[in-house]
């Protein structure tokens, strides 16, 4: 995997917290910590998008929540259509 060195700047008062987080989540390696942080933030972003899609779908369905059997019936009905 190609890597690139970047320079970041944090406030002096955040250094102890950063060091603590690097120790816990990056095994003492700032690069590992930043990789973890990027993945975590991206997962949160995706989770938020999915939650918004769920809310939109619930609104479209008038708040109706379908159980497993109803969902399977709708899938089967859709598959039978030409």
In this structure, is residue 6 part of a structural domain? no
pLDDT at 80 over 80: no
Burial of 26 (C-beta count, 10 Å sphere; 0-12/13-18/19+): middle
Residues 10 and 18 sit within 8 Å (Cβ to Cβ): yes
pLDDT at 81 over 80: no
In this structure, is residue 24 part of a structural domain? yes
Q: Residue 7: its pLDDT value, please?
A: 93
pTM: 0.67
| Count of domains observed in the chain | 1
Q: Residue 4: its pLDDT value, please?
A: 92
In this structure, is residue 32 part of a structural domain? yes
58-71 tens-digit pLDDT: 899 888 888 999 98
In this structure, is residue 72 part of a structural domain? yes
In this structure, is residue 5 part of a structural domain? no
3-16 tens-digit pLDDT: 899 999 999 999 99
Range of the domain at 62: 12-80
């Amino acid at each position: 995997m190609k890597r690139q060195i970047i320079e970041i700047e944090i406030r002096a008062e955040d250094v102890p917290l950063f060091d603590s987080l690097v120790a816990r989540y990056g095994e003492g390696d700032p690069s590992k910590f930043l990789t973890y942080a990027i993945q975590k933030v991206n997962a949160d972003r995706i989770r938020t998008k999915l939650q918004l899609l769920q809310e939109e779908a619930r609104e479209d369905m008038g708040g109706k929540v379908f159980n497993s059997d109803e969902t399977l019936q709708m899938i089967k009905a859709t598959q039978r259509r030409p």
